[in-house]
């Protein structure tokens, strides 16, 4: 994935940054919610946000509903990064499907979906 991202001009990306970006809603998400979704401390997520902000992928802004809270949002460059990441995922999946075959890949995806469902906390009550 990182090689594919680098090929698309995003060689600044590290795998740790995906813990932020995969949990960040396009319309923005509070830092505390990002940390909860990623099962990380607020401090660790804050470091990832700082790194991605330095890279120009995200911005922090005041939450209009709570001036004490901050919302993390993709920048226009971050949205371009997100599109490149989606393309890289699609390419990687196509490569795996070509190597493993349709039935093996379908089984892997089904297994990952079942496994991931155990850890999906997006619908959990706070």
What would the pLDDT profile of 68-100 be if each residue is shown by its tens digit? 888 999 999 999 988 988 888 899 889 989 999
Other CB atoms within 10 A of residue 93 CB: 13
| Angle, CA of 7, 10 and 11, to the nearest 5° | 80
Q: Enumerate the β-bridge partners of residue 70.
A: 62
For position 5, what pLDDT does the model report?
A: 84
- Per-block average pLDDT, block size 10, for the chain (126 residues)? 82 82 92 91 94 94 88 94 89 91 91 80 51
Q: Enter the pTM of the model.
A: 0.77
CATH 1.10.10.10 assigned to domain 2-117? The reply is: yes
């Amino acid at each position: 994935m990182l090689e594919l991202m680098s090929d698309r001009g995003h060689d600044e990306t590290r795998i740790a940054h995906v813990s932020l970006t995969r949990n960040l809603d396009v319309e923005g998400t509070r830092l505390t919610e990002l940390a909860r979704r990623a099962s990380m401390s607020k401090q660790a997520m804050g470091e990832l946000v700082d790194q991605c902000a330095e890279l120009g992928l995200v911005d922090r802004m005041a939450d209009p509903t709570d001036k004490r809270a901050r919302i993390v949002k993709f920048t226009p460059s971050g949205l371009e990064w997100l599109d490149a990441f989606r393309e890289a995922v699609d390419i990687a999946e196509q490569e795996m499907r070509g190597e493993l075959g349709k039935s093996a890949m379908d089984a892997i995806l089904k297994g990952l979906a079942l496994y991931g469902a155990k850890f999906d906390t997006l619908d959990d009550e706070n």
